[in-house]
Structure 1
Amino acid sequence: MKDMLTIALPKGKLFEDAIPLLQEAGLCTKNLSEDSRKLVIRHEKERLNYIICRPTDIPTFVEYGAADIGIVGKDTIVEQDKDIMELVDLKFGHCRFVVALPETAAKKGRDLTQFNHRRVATKFPKVAESFFAEKGMQVEIIKLHGNIELAPAVGLADMIIDIVSSGRTLKENNLVAVEDIFHATARLIANRVSYRLKHQRIQPVVERIRSLVKDREVTY
Structure 2
Amino acid sequence: MQMSEKLVLALPKGRILGEVMPLVNKAGIIPEAAFDDPKSRQLEFKTNIDNLTIIRVRAFDAATFVAFGAAQIGVVGNDVLQEFGYDDLYAPLDLNIGHCRLSLAMPVDADEVDPKEWSHIRVATKYPNLTRCYYASRGVQAECIKLNGAMELAPSLGLCNRIVDLVSTGSTLKANNLKEVEVLTDITSRLVISRPAFKTRPKEINYWIDRFKEALKDA
TM-score normalized by structure 1?
Answer: 0.89
Match of 1:146 in 2: 149
Q: Does 1:98 align with 2:100?
A: no
Q: 1:180 to 1:172 in 2, by over 3 A?
A: same
Q: 1:161 to 1:112 in 2, by over 3 A?
A: farther
Q: 1:47 to 1:215 in 2, by over 3 A?
A: closer
Q: Following TM superposition, by how much is the alpha carbon of 1:210 offset from its aligned partner in structure 2, in angstroms?
A: 2.2
Q: 1:45 to 1:207 in 2, by over 3 A?
A: closer
Q: Aligned-pair RMSD on alpha carbons?
A: 2.1
Aligned equivalents of 1:50, 1:168: Cα separation in 2: 33
Match of 2:66 in 1: 62
- Comparing 141-150 with 38-47, greater Cα deviation is found at 38-47
State the identity as a percent: 39
Q: Does 1:188 align with 2:188?
A: no
Aligned equivalents of 1:16, 1:130: Cα separation in 2: 32
Aligned equivalents of 2:182, 2:47: Cα separation in 1: 46
Asked if structure 2 preserves the Cα contact closer than 8 Å seen for 1:11 and 1:34, the reply is no
Match of 1:14 in 2: 16
Aligned equivalents of 2:68, 2:93: Cα separation in 1: 20
Q: Following TM superposition, by how much is the alpha carbon of 1:138 offset from its aligned partner in structure 2, in angstroms?
A: 2.1
Q: Following TM superposition, by how much is the alpha carbon of 1:13 offset from its aligned partner in structure 2, in angstroms?
A: 0.8
Q: Following TM superposition, by how much is the alpha carbon of 1:112 offset from its aligned partner in structure 2, in angstroms?
A: 4.9
Q: Following TM superposition, by how much is the alpha carbon of 1:64 offset from its aligned partner in structure 2, in angstroms?
A: 1.7
Q: Does 1:167 align with 2:175?
A: no
Q: Can you list the C-alpha shifts for 1:158-200, whole angstroms capped at 9, x where unaligned?
A: 1111111111110001000011111011111111111122221
Asked if structure 1 preserves the Cα contact closer than 8 Å seen for 2:29 and 2:47, the reply is no
Q: Following TM superposition, by how much is the alpha carbon of 1:139 offset from its aligned partner in structure 2, in angstroms?
A: 2.5
Q: Which amino acid in 2 is paired with 1:144?
A: L
SS of residue matched to 1:118: strand
Question: Pick from 124, 127, 130: which aligns with 1:124?
Answer: 127
Aligned equivalents of 1:186, 1:34: Cα separation in 2: 24
Aligned equivalents of 2:92, 2:127: Cα separation in 1: 23
TM-score normalized by structure 2?
Answer: 0.89
Structure 1 unaligned residues grouped into runs of 5+:
none
Match of 1:158 in 2: 161
Aligned residues: 214
SS of residue matched to 1:104: coil
Q: Following TM superposition, by how much is the alpha carbon of 1:70 offset from its aligned partner in structure 2, in angstroms?
A: 0.5
